[in-house]
Amino acid sequence: MIRKGFHIAVAVSATAAANLAWAANTELEGVHVSATSSGTQVTLDLTGLTTEKLFTLDHPERAVIDLGHTQLAGGVRLPLGAGVVSGFRVGNQPGGTLRVVMQLKSMTPTRSAWVQAPGSAVRQLMITLGDATAAPVMAAASPAAPTAPVATTPVAASTSAADVIDTTPKIVRAPHAPTDTGRDIVVAVDAGHGGQDPGAIGHSGTREKDVTLAIARALAERINSEPGMRAVLTRDRDEFLVLRDRIGRARIAKADMFVSIHADSIANRDVSGASVYVLSEHGASNEAARWLADRENAADLMGGVRLDNKDKQLASVLMDLSQTANISASMTAAQRVIASLDAVGQVRKAQVQQAGFVVLKSPDIPSMLVETAYISNPEEEMSLRNTRHQGALADAVFAGLRGYFLANPPVGTRFAQARRGTTVASALTSAPMDAGGSSPAR
């Protein structure tokens, strides 16, 4: 099992990790801003290293950074805006997270880097808004004491109309960084139905759209509490979404996994239990034909492979390879989820099922549809209305997802770094000893 402390350690450089004494109560002691010819620099003075999540939101445009286990020191005054930054706000989030919001005049590329002046105990987190190639300028550093970068995290723009102070961010474009930068695993959590589509309705009037949203929110919260993972909700309110829009939002977020939450219904009210579905071969074939026919609008496959500039035969081969790998990954992850659900309550179908559901048809994002229970069953309907049971279902789905990603971490993620580090440590520990009682030289 990978400990949370290890996840945090791999988020910084090896040099910094050697001296890291991560405090549970890091304080933000100052905020500085300065405009440059290529953008704006924001400096956060912190009493120690901590985890950070940087992302952007629009409507209105703003850059947001969440600092784990951090609080605002007394007497801190927020500066006025400069350059592209028009103002600042700070607010507390659940779990001891401090959120710093930078209101933007326009959307701009954003990145962050940890720096520290030699001999100083203050850690500084530099946020560059503008040209991502511009060198960071530390507002509070002495010219005689150049700073050394510790870790850099680029971020892509995202869209949401959320109030970033009072609610969990609903990220639509996730910050996917290049290989080996320790990015978060992104899970798209889809609450089934919504708006004018209530879904199934139980005997007592329970609407599927309400139940699925509650469970989806609980699952997203659980995912976001895990270092190295981030949730993207396809909907976080009672709204109607076309089925393919749900897939589209997951693709925009560059999700590593898509999980659609539902509550089944059937005429026989005695039927109960959970089940999990992945895409069928027939459904995959139909979707492949649809994508290949729509040559002009063919989107990138994950990894940047385009179909619209390939001849028909090559495009067909690439699509087939992508879908085969995708269904295999979906099946492996779904098996873990259904095993976890079995510990929460009755499982209707112990084996993962396959069907042609539209929301499962992304050709390159592993996807599953979880039927949490039968809302048509009176006992299960009552359970689905219970907040504690909703949380238990969310915990079970999360446990399955986490187990899958620990065993199969996407390239470039914190989970992949942690797994690689564990493998290396294990190999060194088990290395044969030479006659002198030490590991052989390499």
Q: How many CB atoms lie within 10 A of CB 329?
A: 20
Q: At residue 148, does pLDDT exceed 70? A: no
For the chain, the structural domain boundaries read 4-155, 185-419
- The segment with the largest mean pLDDT, out of 179-188, 249-258, 290-299, 342-351, is 249-258
Q: The tokens of 258 are what?
A: 């898509």
pLDDT score at 399: 95
| Per-residue confidence band for 162, with pLDDT thresholds at 50, 70 and 90 | very low
Of the listed ranges 43-57, 177-191, 291-305, 371-385, the one predicted with least confidence = 291-305
Task: Please tell me what DSSP assigns to residue 183.
Answer: B
Q: How confident is the model at residue 209 (pLDDT cuts 50, 70, 90)?
A: very high
**The pLDDT of residue 359:** 85
Q: Give Cα 432 to chain centroid, integer Å.
A: 40
Q: Is the pTM of this model over 0.75?
A: no
Query: Nearest 5°: phi and psi at 314?
Result: -65, -40
Residue 407, φ and ψ in degrees, nearest 5: -85, -25
**How do residues 64-118 score in pLDDT, each as one tens digit?**
998 988 989 888 888 888 888 988 999 888 778 899 999 998 888 888 888 875 5
pLDDT digits (tens, 9 = 90+) for 310-333: 556 666 666 666 667 778 888 999
Candidate ranges 8-12, 357-361, 407-411, 435-439; pick with highest mean pLDDT = 407-411
pLDDT tens-digit readout, 2-28: 333 333 333 333 333 333 334 447 899
More confident residue, 328 or 174: 328
Q: What's the burial of 90, exposed, middle or buried (CB within 10 Å: 0-12/13-18/19+)? A: middle
Per-residue confidence (pLDDT) for residue 301, from 0 to 100 = 56
CB within 8 Å of 309: residues ≥ 6 apart = none
Class of the CATH-defined domain 4-155: mainly beta
Rounded mean pLDDT of 131-146?
38
Determine which helix (DSSP H) or strand (DSSP E) holds 400, and give its type and residue range. helix 387-407
Closest CA to 216 of 359, 362, 63, 59: 359
Q: Convert the pLDDT of each residue in 51-67 to its tens digit.
A: 888 888 877 888 999 89
pLDDT band at 180 (very low <50, low <70, confident <90, very high): very low
- Report pLDDT for 405: 93
Q: How far is CA 329 from CA 335, 366, 373, 409, in A?
A: 10, 6, 24, 11
CB-based contact 149:114 (threshold 8 Å) = yes
Rounded mean pLDDT, 129-133: 64
Per-residue confidence band for 233, with pLDDT thresholds at 50, 70 and 90: very high
The C-alpha atoms of residue 102 and residue 129 are separated, in whole angstroms, by 10
For residue 150, pLDDT beyond 50: no
What whole-number distance in Å separates Cα of residue 277 and Cα of residue 359? Answer: 11
Give the pLDDT of residue 200: 92
CATH number of 185-419: 3.40.630.40
In this predicted structure, the answer to whether residue 202 has a pLDDT above a threshold of 90 is yes
Question: How many Å is the maximal CA-CA distance in the chain?
Answer: 78
Q: What is the mean pLDDT of the chain?
A: 75
Starting at the earlier edge strand, list the strands of the sheet with 257-264: 229-233, 185-191, 257-264, 367-374, 275-279, 353-355
pLDDT at residue 319 in the model: 61
pLDDT of residue 389: 93
